[in-house]
């Protein structure tokens, strides 16, 4: 079993400067990898990096392209020490009243200044001053990934090899643009058959970092790039449920009641199922079941598996 991060909702990056056509690198997904000290000091890092991590990254880079990427650099918002920004009514400039955060964060990972936005401080009007400048940012087809190997809470299960998840989303398309993966230190290996299992696990976990987590279901879009779940007209985000997670509409995920027959008798059982057209079409073809009404989501296990798999 792999453990994945459980999130409430995500931060959204901001758009930077337009990209010159000569600087465009195409739409193919490309990872910018930041190896944290915890994995760099692992005794197997020199072999683990090319034989496991880069193999998994290569799989997704060959598999995915970014659809309709806006022609703008991406930045991670630095934010204020206080939990809110203020906006100058005259200029529309956002600023902090107490202090700018010295560094943007992806969970507990410090975001390099080159990928972080600028930040201003002041009390409004002519008192606003820039404390930090925008970094150069990263391209619209890129994904910044932190790779670590820490014995954190997610590694307490003896069967957990790694876990991953996103931390930042694209401001206009909702695509995950930054995330992390943690390889449990005691499970890092390069000998077979463990190495092949770890490559498969890394590919699987990167799928979560690329967006397959419960809170992202509400961010799914249709084939024309339009949100499947209606958005709040003020925030532009999907509605939140009681767990403070984004709630997907019934055209994406639906609760389906089905008759269930067991040795103890018959009863009705509820399933949370995907009902998006493309997924239903493929599932009906795969299972040879033209009347399939939904693709059921895993409903057992802890926070790392329940509602995180199909």
Sketch the domain layout of the chain as residue ranges: 1-226, 247-310
What 277-282 contacts at long range (C-beta under 8 Å, 24+ apart), as own/partner pairs, is 278/223
Residue 291, preceding bond cis, omega within 30 degrees?
no
Full-model pTM: 0.85
- Whether 205 sits among the annotated catalytic residues: the reply is yes
Contact criterion met (CB below 8 Å) for 210 and 61:
no
Question: Is a pLDDT exceeding 90 seen at residue 264?
Answer: no
Domain 1-226 has CATH 3.10.170.20: yes
pLDDT on residue 244: 78
Annotated binding site for Zn(2+): 204, 208
C-alpha distances out from residue 93 to 85, 105, 124, Å:
10, 22, 9
What is the predicted pLDDT for the residue at 159?
81
Residue 86 has pLDDT above 90, yes or no: no
pLDDT over 60 at 9, yes or no: no
DSSP string for 43-73: TTHHHHIIIIIHHHHHHHHHH-B-SS--SEE
Taking residues 295-308, what's their average pLDDT?
Answer: 60
Adjacent-strand bridge partners of 265: 262
Q: pLDDT digits over 40-80, tens only?
A: 999 999 999 999 999 999 999 999 999 876 788 999 999 89
> How many other C-beta atoms lie within 10 A of the C-beta of residue 63?
12
The secondary structure of the chain in percent helix, strand, coil, rounded to multiples of 5, reads: 25, 30, 50
The predicted pLDDT at position 37 comes to 97
Q: What is the mean pLDDT of the chain?
A: 86
Radius of gyration from C-alpha coordinates of the chain: 21
CA dihedral 205, 210, 215, 221 (to 10 degrees): -140
- Active-site choice (82, 205, 282, 300): 205
Evaluate whether 147 touches 35 at the Cβ level (below 8 Å). Answer: yes
Q: At residue 14, does pLDDT exceed 90?
A: no
Confidence label for 306 from pLDDT (cuts 50, 70 and 90):
very low
Q: How many CB atoms lie within 10 A of CB 141?
A: 20
Residues 15-19 have a mean pLDDT of 84
CA 180: distance to chain centroid? 9
How do residues 158-187 score in pLDDT, each as one tens digit?
788 999 999 999 988 989 999 999 999 988
* Cβ-contact 246, 218 below 8 angstroms: yes
- How far is it between the farthest Cα atoms of the chain? 76
Written as six digits, the tokens of 156 are: 């307490």
């Amino acid at each position: 079993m792999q453990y994945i991060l459980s999130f409430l909702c995500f931060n959204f990056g901001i758009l930077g400067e337009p990209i010159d056509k000569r600087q465009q690198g195409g739409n193919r997904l490309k990872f910018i990898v930041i190896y944290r000290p915890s994995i760099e000091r692992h005794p197997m890092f020199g072999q683990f990096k090319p034989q496991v991590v880069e193999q998994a990254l290569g799989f997704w880079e060959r598999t995915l392209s970014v659809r309709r990427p806006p022609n703008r650099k991406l930045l991670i918002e630095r934010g204020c020490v206080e939990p809110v920004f203020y906006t100058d009514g005259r200029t529309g400039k956002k600023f902090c009243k107490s202090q700018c955060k010295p560094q943007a964060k992806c969970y507990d990972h410090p975001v390099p200044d080159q990928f972080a936005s600028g930040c201003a401080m002041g009390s409004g009007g002519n008192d606003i001053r820039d404390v930090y400048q925008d970094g150069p940012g990263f391209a619209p087809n890129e994904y910044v990934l932190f790779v670590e190997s820490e014995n954190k809470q997610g590694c307490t299960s003896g069967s957990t090899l790694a876990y991953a998840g996103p931390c930042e989303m694209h401001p206009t398309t909702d695509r995950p643009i930054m995330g992390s993966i943690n390889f449990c230190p005691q499970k890092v290996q390069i000998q077979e058959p463990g190495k092949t299992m770890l490559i498969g696990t890394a590919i699987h976990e990167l799928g979560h970092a690329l967006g397959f987590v419960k809170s992202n279901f509400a961010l799914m879009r249709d084939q024309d790039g339009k949100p499947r779940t209606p958005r709040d007209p003020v925030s532009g985000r999907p509605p939140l449920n009681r767990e403070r997670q984004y709630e997907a509409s019934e055209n994406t995920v639906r609760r389906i009641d089905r008759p269930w027959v067991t040795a103890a008798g018959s009863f009705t059982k509820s399933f949370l199922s995907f009902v998006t057209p493309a997924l239903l079409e493929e599932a009906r073809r795969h299972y040879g079941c033209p009347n399939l009404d939904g693709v059921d989501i895993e409903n057992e296990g802890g926070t790392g598996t329940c509602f995180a798999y199909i």
